[in-house]
Amino acid sequence: MPPLFNAHSHLPKVGALEEMTPHGDHRRVVCGTCEADWRAVLAHAASHDQVLPMLGLHPWFVVEAATGWASRLESLLRSDPAGVGECGLDFSRKNADRERQEEAFRTQLRLAHLLRRPVAMHIVKAWGLLLDVLREEGVPPAGALVHAYSGSPETARELQAMGVFLSFSGDLLNPERPGVRESLRSVTNNHLLLETDGTAEFERVIAAAATLRGISVPELEFLIWDNGGRCFQELMA
């Protein structure tokens, strides 16, 4: 069977990894979102060869992060082959601390540059600032993706020109999210990834994406596998 590459997930519930096992070759990126789960993500990856770990501070948890979190994150990343993320900008909440989110995001982008690790970005209602930050900090050369992409096709084109991969989630299955499906169609083959992010079975996401792009499921699975290998190559060596 074609291999599967799930570009974004979190510490799985019982059976979540097993759903991919019948496909033989498979990879799953598992992201930490705060300091409390970083070591658990690393332990999970150590016991599952198919898991690629990522450690980051999610924008939702920036305000409650303990002093010195960035130094501790750097220390873990230096001692373990993990990527950076999930990090980013999320201005969907009224009380979002935009300044602290941006500071934490820039810090993690710099770590990704310094340590040559891929970065996974969570972006909601902050597309203009994202583009500004990436222009100023640069896209980490080891790989970068925006997970659960929800921006416009125009922003998608700008991000792809920078070398950023765009990953689509179970939002593709939501009939109330036509914009996500429109953006999926605008992404080139070389920049497309897919994920579950805990929202749906991966096979359903792949089937929906294949239908939207007018290709077969196996063709898309091989495409996503190749793209995942390029985006996360530093973790797959």
Q: What's the token pair of residue 38?
A: 């970083």
How far apart, in whole angstroms, are the C-alpha atoms of residue 224 and residue 4?
7
Give me the tens of pLDDT residue by residue for the chain, a chain 237 residues long: 789 999 999 986 544 444 444 455 789 999 999 999 999 999 999 999 999 999 999 999 999 999 999 999 999 999 999 999 999 999 998 888 999 999 999 999 999 999 999 999 999 999 999 999 999 999 999 999 999 999 999 999 999 999 999 999 999 999 899 999 999 999 999 999 999 886 568 889 999 999 999 999 999 999 999 999 999 999 986
Query: Assign residue 25 a region: left if phi > 0, alpha if psi is -120 to 50, beta otherwise?
Result: beta
Query: Contact 195/147 with Cβ under 8 angstroms?
Result: yes
Burial of 82-94, coded b for 16+ CB within 10 Å and e otherwise, reads bbbbbbbbbbeee
Question: All domains of the chain, ordered by start, with CATH?
Answer: 4-235 (3.20.20.140)
pTM score of the predicted model: 0.93
Q: What's the confidence (pLDDT) of residue 15?
A: 42
Q: What's the confidence (pLDDT) of residue 18?
A: 46
Is the sign of the CA dihedral 5, 216, 158, 171 positive or negative? Answer: negative
